């Protein structure tokens, strides 16, 4: 490709390994604690383009992880083991291998892991087993976005099929009356976002005192989005003798303070290997004289290797406009952003996941937690607000043991 910056010598990244920009990404936790999602407060940071360049040496010897356990070794119900086989899992990922035994023991746990490492199964499997042993147990799982909540709920349903266990997904953007109706029926798991859960608690429908286990997933993102007040509200109503599982991709001083507040002598599991996955080759795209940004993008997307592409923009209107322009040029594209209602967003994700469209254009609402298989490329058509946002955007490709590429436009 003629558009890529030639910034590499001796096959090494042009940016220092583990380099971090000189700013803090979690100050947003001091913003509004309203249960409606606050607006993004900080202005975009000036990011060094070298942070977006990290060549993968495709012939390098890859260290193969050797788990201490097979799924059959875990002390979980045999029906759960069969569900694991049905999903096609063979060996646990590092976070699953090291986390599941501790969760089964009932201790508090902090898990630090890169995105796309199998965290959901790491807590769902042992917690479903816990409920099978004690059917009266209730589990609360709090996540930052509705998409992640729905994804976890779907995975719960796949693991628990035929076990007569029930979940309620409590997220904004969907009718609260329907969620209240489900909550009044028998259920074991409540999976939701902080604002909607707070609303349901205030209405007396969800009673935190009846939950003896809570999972805070992607806690750093919830802090970043200004949900710290809602998190503290929910945790203050939980029983003191609970089990708390806390997962985060980063470990900042603010996160450490939350761990100190919410957990009791937790086991710490860290399988994080760096800010960005080694499976993601990163590069920049510089515009050539006389070439428009869109024309450059169009030329890239016509390459055969760009088979399943996630493109990030900044604004809802910009994302929709780019999506429509791509469609007018003959590309199969969809978009997800805050101006689309829940059903249309889910439909767009489904079309992209199932390969009916080549391109999904998104705002950062899609940057966290979504597990979309076989994304070949992430393209940052517009720069992210922070380096943390960049890390989570490009984490949509190169998931598991797959390779992926991330390209960032530099003007």
Walk along the chain (411 residues) in steps of 10 and give the mean pLDDT of each run.
38 35 33 40 62 55 64 93 90 92 96 82 97 96 92 95 95 92 96 96 96 95 89 95 93 90 94 68 85 92 94 93 96 91 87 94 74 90 85 82 87 77
**Predicted pLDDT of residue 277:** 62
CA distance 394 to 388: 10
Contact 214, 241 (CB under 8 A): no
**Predicted pLDDT of residue 40:** 44
Contact 409, 312 (CB under 8 A): no
Q: Kindly give, in sequence order, each residue whose CB lies less than 8 Å from that of residue 56, ignoring residues fewer than 6 positions away.
A: 278, 279, 280, 281, 403
- Residue with the two structure tokens 């940071």: 45
Domain topology for 71-270: Rossmann fold (3.40.50)
Q: DSSP string of 327-365?
A: HHTT--EEEE-TTS-HHHHHHHHHHHHTTS-SEEEE-GG
For 275, the token pair is 């800010």
C-alpha dihedral sign at 75, 400, 271, 389 = negative
Instruction: Tell me how many degrees the CA angle 199-249-359 measures, rounded to the nearest 5.
Output: 85
CA distance 169 to 191: 5
Q: How would you class 327 by CB atoms within 10 Å of its CB: exposed for 0-12, middle for 13-18, buried for 19 or more?
A: middle
Burial 90-106 (b: 16+ CB within 10 A, else e): eebbbbbbbbbbbbbee
**Predicted pLDDT of residue 37:** 42
CA distance 235 to 41: 25
- Phi/psi for 217 (5° steps) reads -100, 140
**Predicted pLDDT of residue 366:** 61
H-helix or E-strand containing 259? Answer: helix 253-262
- Rg, the chain, Cα only: 21
Q: Is the pTM of the predicted complex or chain greater than 0.75? A: no
Q: Can you tell me whether residue 91 is helix, strand or coil?
A: coil
* β-bridge partners, 380: 312, 408
Q: DSSP string of 167-192?
A: EEEE-TTS-HHHHHHHHTS--SEEEE
CA distance 67 to 94: 7
Q: Taking each helix axis from N to C terminus, what angle separates 228-236 and 253-262, rounded to the nearest 10 degrees? A: 10
For the chain, the distance separating the N- and C-terminal CA atoms, rounded to the nearest angstrom, is 17
**Predicted pLDDT of residue 368:** 60
Dihedral over alpha carbons 122, 125, 126, 131 (to 10 degrees): 150
Note the helical H segments in 134-247: 146-159, 176-183, 194-202, 219-224, 228-236
Q: Can you tell me whether residue 1 is helix, strand or coil?
A: coil
**Residue ranges, CATH 3.40.50.300, the chain:** 27-56+278-410, 71-270
User: Within its chain, how far is the Cα of 327 from the centroid?
Assistant: 27
Residue 378: count of CB within 10 angstroms of its CB: 25
Q: Kindly give, in sequence order, each residue whose CB lies less than 8 Å from that of residue 248, ignoring residues fewer than 6 positions away.
A: 110, 111, 112, 218, 219, 220, 255
Q: Taking each helix axis from N to C terminus, what angle separates 146-159 and 119-133, rounded to the nearest 10 degrees? A: 50
Superfamily of domain 27-56+278-410: P-loop containing nucleotide triphosphate hydrolases (3.40.50.300)
User: Within its chain, how far is the Cα of 71 from the centroid?
Assistant: 23
């Amino acid at each position: 490709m003629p558009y890529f910056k030639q910034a590499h010598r001796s096959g090494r990244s042009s940016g220092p390994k583990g380099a971090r920009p000189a700013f803090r990404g979690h100050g947003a936790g001091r913003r509004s604690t309203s249960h409606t999602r606050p607006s993004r407060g900080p202005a975009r940071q000036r990011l060094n383009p070298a942070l977006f360049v990290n060549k993968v040496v495709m012939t390098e010897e890859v260290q193969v992880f050797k788990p201490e356990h097979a799924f059959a070794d875990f002390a979980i119900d045999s029906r759960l083991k069969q569900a694991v086989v049905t999903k096609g899992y063979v060996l646990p990922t590092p976070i699953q291998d090291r986390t599941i035994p501790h969760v089964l023991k009932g201790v508090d746990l902090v898990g630090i892991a890169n995105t796309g490492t199998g965290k959901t199964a790491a807590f769902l499997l042992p917690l479903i087993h816990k409920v099978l042993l004690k059917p009266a147990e209730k589990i609360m799982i709090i996540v930052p976005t509705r998409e992640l909540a729905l994804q976890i709920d779907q995975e719960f349903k796949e693991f628990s099929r035929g076990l007569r266990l029930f979940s309620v997904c409590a997220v904004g953007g969907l009718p609260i009356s329907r969620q209240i109706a489900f909550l009044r029926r028998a259920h074991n798991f409540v999976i939701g976002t902080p604002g909607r859960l707070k609303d349901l608690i205030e209405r007396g429908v969800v009673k935190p005192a009846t939950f003896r286990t809570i999972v805070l997933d992607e806690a750093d993102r919830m802090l970043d989005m200004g949900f710290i007040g809602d998190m503290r509200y929910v945790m203050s109503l939980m029983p003191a003798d609970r089990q708390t599982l806390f997962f985060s991709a980063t470990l900042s001083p603010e996160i450490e303070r939350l761990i100190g507040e919410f957990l009791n002598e937790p086991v710490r599991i860290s399988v994080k290997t760096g800010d960005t996955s080694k499976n993601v080759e990163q590069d920049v795209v510089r515009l050539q004289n006389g070439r428009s940004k869109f024309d450059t993008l169009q030329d890239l997307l016509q390459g055969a290797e760009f088979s399943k592409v996630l493109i990030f923009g900044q604004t809802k209107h910009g994302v929709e406009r780019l999506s429509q322009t791509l469609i007018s040029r003959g590309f199969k594209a969809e978009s997800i952003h805050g101006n689309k209602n829940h059903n249309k967003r889910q439909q767009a994700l489904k079309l992209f996941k199932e390969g009916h469209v080549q391109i999904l254009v998104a705002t950062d609402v899609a940057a966290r937690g979504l597990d979309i298989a076989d994304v070949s490329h992430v393209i940052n058509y517009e720069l992210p607000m922070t380096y943390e946002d960049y890390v989570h955007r490009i984490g949509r490709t190169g998931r598991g043991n797959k390779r992926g590429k991330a390209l960032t436009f530099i003007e």
